[in-house]
Every structure is written in C-alpha cells, then in structure tokens.
Amino acid sequence: MLWRYLFVLVGVFLLLATSACARLSKEEVDSLWEQLLRDERYEAIGFYSHDPKPSIYRYRDKTIQVVEARGGFLGGLIGSGGGWEVIGQLEADVPTERGVLQLYSKGTKKWTPGFLLWEPTYPKTYPMWEFRLIVRDPNRRQDIRALKSVFVSPKDVLPRWNPDGSPIKELVGVRVPRGEVEYDPTRGVATMRVLGLHDPLTFEVPIPEPGNG
C-alpha cells in the first residue's frame, strides 16, 4: 500500500508545481518575440527555472531571443531544458524616403529535455527559419508593415560541420543563414537576399509610398 501513497504524493506535488509556474506555450513564446521586434527591444528573455520571473539580457548586436526551458520530464521536475526557443536578429536596416526598411531573421527551435549525462537537444527538423522584410515608420517606430516573408527549412541551410565533426573551413566565422537588403530609390524597389543556403534566394520587393496600401 505504501507505493499508492507515494504515487498520490507525487501526483499532488506535480500538480502544485505545475500550477505554481505554468510554462509558456509555443504561441506565447512566439508572441513575446514578436512584441520585442515591434518595440525594437534587442533582448534575451529566458525562463530557465520555476521562478516565474525571467532572466533578461540586453544584446548589443540587435539579437532578439525568447527561451522557455522549463519543459523537463514529469512536468519539469526531472531533467533540464526542454521547451521552445525563438531567436533572430536585425539583418539589415536601410533608411529610405518611404520608411526604414528592416530585414529580420527568426529561427524557431523545439528543445528536448536533458537528463543526467544527456544535454538538451533539438530535433533535426529544427530550427525553422523565417526572413521577414518590413518597413518601419521613422517617427512612430512601432508602426510597421510586413512586405515579404521567406521561410527556410534546416535542409535548405548550408551545413557548418563535416561528417567527421570538423568545421567546414569556408564557413568558419560566417553566420548561416543570413540576409541582406539593398534599395534602389529610382525604382522604389528593395532587393532582398537570403544567403547561407544551398540555393541562395533573391527577391525584388516594391516599397509602397507612405499612406498607400
């Protein structure tokens, strides 16, 4: 009968622990990241323990990161890590007469918890990447408009490591994937490039004049 009492005790403990510190869902992590983008807050916000207050670190390189790492086994009580991470950065910032063109990268990862000697990892189906070109009002900075989004899967990205585990020399110190933007004021067109892929992508994106759809 002792094992039954232990089972009930563990169940109650799990219930209390889960209710005391609910983990963020994928949608909530994504929503928080999007708000940081809108506010141009280049920060890392991480939920790593059962303290509901996150750790916050301000980046200097225009990176935005939100991490929910409380998804261990048995409601987060066993193991470390696990959950969702969304990380990206400002790839390009181009002031124009039609607004400030900004290209952001956004990578989404699903983490698997670690336990004892096993470190937290994420499946090979992650990260999934998005490159988003927006135009931002130079006076009302939170007023943004999405112009073009490109989605990239892990299989599209150049590998950084050889099968034997050694780094690929050509990519040492090179960030992949990455993006860049050029603007032609005579045509009012931006050229958006996504690099670090097996097949790099290039798009021409017309930039609407302020006040036009």
In a domain, 154, yes or no: yes
- pLDDT of 178-193, one tens digit each? 999 999 999 999 999 9
User: What pLDDT score does 118 carry?
Assistant: 59
Beta strands in the chain (DSSP E): 43-47, 55-58, 63-68, 83-96, 99-111, 128-136, 144-152, 178-184, 189-195, 201-206
In a domain, 94, yes or no: yes
46 contacts 54 by C-beta, under 8 angstroms: yes
In a domain, 134, yes or no: yes
User: What pLDDT score does 208 carry?
Assistant: 93
- pLDDT of 131-152, one tens digit each? 999 999 999 999 999 999 999 9
* Rounded average pLDDT over 5-33: 63
What is the total count of domains within the chain? 1
In a domain, 24, yes or no: yes
Beta bridge partners of 57: 44
- pLDDT of 31-77, one tens digit each? 999 999 999 999 999 998 777 788 999 988 899 999 998 765 444 44
In a domain, 171, yes or no: yes
In a domain, 6, yes or no: no
Q: How far apart are CA 22 and CA 90, in angstroms?
A: 30
Give how far the C-alpha of residue 130 lies from the chain's centroid of Cα atoms, to the nearest Å: 9
Mean residue pLDDT of the chain comes to 84
* Rounded average pLDDT over 8-32: 64
In a domain, 5, yes or no: no
Q: How far apart are CA 178 and CA 205, in angstroms?
A: 18
Domain with 155, as residue range(s), is 17-206
User: What pLDDT score does 18 carry?
Assistant: 44
In a domain, 65, yes or no: yes
Q: How far apart are CA 139 and CA 129, in angstroms?
A: 29
